Amino acid sequence: MKGSCLCGAITFEAIDPVSGFSVCHCGQCRKWSGHLWSSTHVPDNSLKIEGEVRWFQSSKKARRGFCPVCGASLFWKHADDDHTSFARGCVDGPTGARLKRHIFTADKGDYYDIADGLPRS
Ligand SMILES: [Zn+2]
Ligand SMILES: [Zn+2]
């Protein structure tokens, strides 16, 4: 599975992708992406990134990787976890993936509803 940012300066390949992904409704993801950020969490050694990702320290333990050219919101990484999340929306071509759950729904914006019946946390 391959993906890229909007301008193509950064590409990534998930070697062992799982078929499900989550969408995060937290305030940070909302600000970062402009609405919601959907991602899949994979072991670091199964994600190959090419290009100069810029990282923003978004909290004490977490940082967010983006393209310094086009600004695409690409990666999320916790300091104590050997996994990285990559943006589901940046995967190229058919993904065969399905949205599996909603997270941080207590922080969701008041301008939309979640109505698909999927698990929430
Ligand atoms: Zn870019
Ligand atoms: Zn979030």
Residue-level pLDDT at 17: 64
Mean local confidence (pLDDT), 76-103: 94
Tell me the CA–centroid distance for residue 89 and ligand 1, in Å: 13
Euclidean distance between CA atoms 28 and 10, whole angstroms: 22
Find the ligand nearest to 3 CA: 1
- Please give the model's pTM, rounded to 2 decimal places: 0.93
DSSP state at residue 7: S
Mean local confidence (pLDDT), 12-18: 81
Scanning the structure block, which residue is given the tokens 């393209």?
A: 67
Tell me the CA–centroid distance for residue 117 and ligand 2, in Å: 20
